[in-house]
Amino acid sequence: MKPLQLPAAREFMWQYVHSTPLGSIVTGVTDQQRLALQDEVQERWQRFASGDGVATEVGITTLRGTKPATASKSS
C-alpha cells in the first residue's frame, strides 16, 4: 500500500466529478442539489481527513513488459 495525500474533500470531489462522466450529470442539477451532494461527500469522507486534505492508501501494481528483439532477415 502506498499513502496518497489529496486536496481537501470539497476540492478533490469536484476535481474528480468534473473528470468523469458525472460532470455532465451534475451540471444539470440545481445549485441546492450540488450543495447537498458536496455536503454528503464531505461528511462521509471526514474519516479520511488529514491536515488540510484527505489521505488514503492505494494499492499499486507496476508491470513492465519488453518486446523481444527481432532477428534481421538475411537474403
pLDDT tens digits along 44-67: 999 999 988 999 898 887 888 888
Q: Is residue 51 part of a domain?
A: yes
Please report whether residue 39 resides in a domain.
yes
Domain count, the chain: 1
37 has a pLDDT exceeding 90: yes
Report the distance separating Cα 51 and Cα 5, nearest Å. Answer: 10
- For 12-33, how does the pLDDT look when each residue is reduced to its tens digit (9 = 90+)? 999 999 999 999 999 999 999 9
User: What span, in angstroms and rounded, lies between the C-alpha atoms of 1 and 59?
Assistant: 5
Query: In the beta sheet, which residues pair with residue 53?
Result: 50
For the beta sheet containing 2-6, the strands, ordered from the edge strand earlier in sequence to the opposite edge, are 2-6, 53-58, 49-50
74 has pLDDT over 70 = no
Q: Which range of residues forms the domain containing residue 24?
A: 2-58
- Residue 22 included in any domain: yes
Q: If you average pLDDT over every residue of the chain, what do you get?
A: 90
User: What is the C-alpha separation between 15 and 24, in angstroms, rounded?
Assistant: 13
Poorest-pLDDT segment among 2-11, 39-48, 60-69: 60-69
